[in-house]
């Protein structure tokens, strides 16, 4: 899967799944546009890719801010002359129920996870149209399809990303713009490390996460990046409006039955 001459914008590209996606795309010849609000991590990845001869730019952006996203996408277009794919991996995890979630907490999660994805689509689709088509890949979660306790706002945002993706897929299908969603299970990223650090015994969180996936382990970021890259690439030219789980079998399993091995 070569991306030679193609320009891909990746939000949340500095760390975790977004970073792995940027690295995969770079290895396959893409111009990589890293959008992230973590300047240190973004500059570090930008420098590494530059040293490897990759055409890349980093833009410090809060994805919840439409004008900032639009400005960054316009500068990327000016730099590379085209935009072919949009990848949304920026996201945050917060905890709370219907009664414990504050309005501020709700807005924070929805603004970053859901509005952030809409913002990139809104800013980027005109440039995909200019190319006669393109692809959008939104990284959602298994929590788009099922949920756990105490993750209300996150779950709402991830369910919402499926609706956003399907709506975009329908609205732009005739313009050859495809939109798909990836729903990962647990992935070994800074987000997971932060979540585990909230527990007095972080290792127990890793152990539980490994055990709950039928494959017996959590994913490495590149395992999700590969699915994202496939859906961004023209190899998946007849795939649109779809929701891809990359979850080690997590949502295939009916709970409550002990492991037999
Ligand atoms: N790690 C997991 O287990 C897991 C599982 C399922 C889904 N996901 C989803 O995958 C996506 C990536 O997760 P990850 O684990 O790589 O997370 P991560 O925290 O490791 O990386 C997320 C990146 O997004 C950036 N970011 C966050 N908010 C931003 C904002 N407002 N503006 C710009 N950049 C912002 C961060 O700086 C970081 O570089 C998220 O949407 C997450 O919800 C993660």
Per-domain residue ranges for the chain? 7-185+221-249
d(CA 5, CA 60): 23
Ligand 1 pocket test, pick from 90, 182, 192, 220 with the greatest ligand atom count within 8 Å of Cβ, gives: 90
d(CA 253, CA 245): 13
CA 94 to chain CA centroid, Å, is 17
**pLDDT of 63-115, one tens digit each?**
999 999 999 999 999 999 999 999 999 999 999 999 999 999 999 999 999 99
Task: Encode the chain (261 residues) as per-residue pLDDT tens digits.
Answer: 999 999 999 999 999 999 999 999 999 999 999 999 999 999 999 999 999 999 999 999 999 999 999 999 999 999 999 999 999 999 999 999 999 999 999 999 999 999 999 999 999 999 999 999 999 999 999 999 999 999 999 999 999 999 999 999 999 999 999 999 999 999 999 999 999 999 999 999 999 999 999 999 999 999 999 999 999 999 999 999 999 999 999 999 987 766 666
- Determine phi and psi for 28, rounding to 5 degrees: -100, 15
CB of 9 within 8 A of CB of 83? yes
pLDDT of residue 258: 65
* Percent of the chain surpassing pLDDT 90: 97
pLDDT of residue 88: 99
Which atom of ligand 1 is nearest to 113's Cα?
41
Residue nearest to atom 2 of ligand 1 (CA): 187
Of 163, 165, 89, nearest in space to 125 by CA? 165
Q: What is the CA radius of gyration of the chain?
A: 18
pLDDT of residue 236: 98
Q: DSSP states of 72-118 as a string?
A: HHHHHHHHHS---EEEE-------B-TTT--HHHHHHHIIIIIIHHH
Ligand 1 centroid–CA 11 distance in Å is: 9
Alpha helices for the chain (secondary structure H): 16-27, 39-51, 66-80, 103-109, 116-130, 152-172, 190-197, 202-212, 221-232
Ligand 1 centroid–CA 9 distance in Å is: 15
Ligand 1 centroid–CA 93 distance in Å is: 8
Which among 95, 154, 172, 206 is annotated as catalytic?
A: 154
Which atom of ligand 1 is nearest to 16's Cα?
16
How open is the CA angle 123-1-32, to the nearest 5 degrees?
Answer: 35
CB of 121 within 8 A of CB of 164? yes
Residue nearest to atom 23 of ligand 1 (CA): 12
CA 71 to chain CA centroid, Å, is 20
Q: Furthest-apart CA pair in the chain: how many Å?
A: 57
d(CA 70, CA 127): 11
* Percent of the chain surpassing pLDDT 70: 98
Ligand 1 centroid–CA 168 distance in Å is: 22
pLDDT of residue 255: 77
d(CA 164, CA 89): 14
pLDDT of residue 259: 65
pLDDT of residue 254: 87
Ligand 1 centroid–CA 200 distance in Å is: 23
CB of 204 within 8 A of CB of 211? no
Residues with CB under 6 A from ligand 1: 11-12, 14-18, 36-38, 41, 61-64, 89-92, 112, 116, 139, 141, 184, 186-187, 189-192
3-state secondary structure of 64: coil
172 catalytic? Reply is: no
* Contacts with 103 (C-beta within 8 Å, 6 or more apart), sequence order: none
**What dotted CATH number matches 7-185+221-249?**
3.40.50.720
């Amino acid at each position: 899967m070569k991306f030679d001459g193609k320009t891909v914008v990746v939000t949340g590209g500095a760390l975790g799944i977004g970073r792995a996606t940027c690295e995969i795309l770079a290895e396959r010849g893409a111009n990589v546009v890293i959008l992230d609000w973590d300047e240190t991590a973004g500059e570090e990845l930008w420098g590494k890719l530059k040293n490897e001869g990759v055409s890349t730019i980093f833009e410090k952006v809060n994805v919840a801010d439409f004008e900032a996203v639009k400005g960054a996408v316009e500068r990327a277009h000016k730099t590379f002359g085209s935009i072919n794919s949009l990848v949304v991996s920026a996201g945050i995890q917060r905890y709370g129920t219907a009664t414990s979630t504050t309005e501020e907490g709700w807005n924070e999660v929805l603004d970053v996870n859901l509005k952030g994805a809409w913002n990139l689509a809104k800013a980027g689709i005109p440039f995909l149209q200019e190319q006669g088509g393109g692809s959008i890949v939104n990284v959602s979660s298994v929590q788009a399809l099922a949920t756990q306790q105490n993750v209300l706002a996150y779950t709402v945002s991830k369910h919402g990303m499926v609706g956003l993706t399907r709506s975009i897929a329908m609205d732009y299908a005739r313009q050859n713009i495809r939109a798909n969603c990836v729903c990962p299970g647990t992935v070994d990223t800074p987000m997971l490390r932060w979540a585990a650090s909230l527990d007095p015994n972080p290792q127990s969180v890793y152990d539980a996460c490994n055990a709950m996936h039928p494959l017996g382990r959590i994913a490495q970021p590149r395992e999700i990046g590969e699915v994202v890259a496939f859906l961004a690439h023209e190899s998946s030219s007849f795939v649109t409006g779809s929701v891809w789980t990359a979850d080690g079998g997590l949502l295939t399993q009916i709970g409550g039955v002990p492991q037999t091995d």
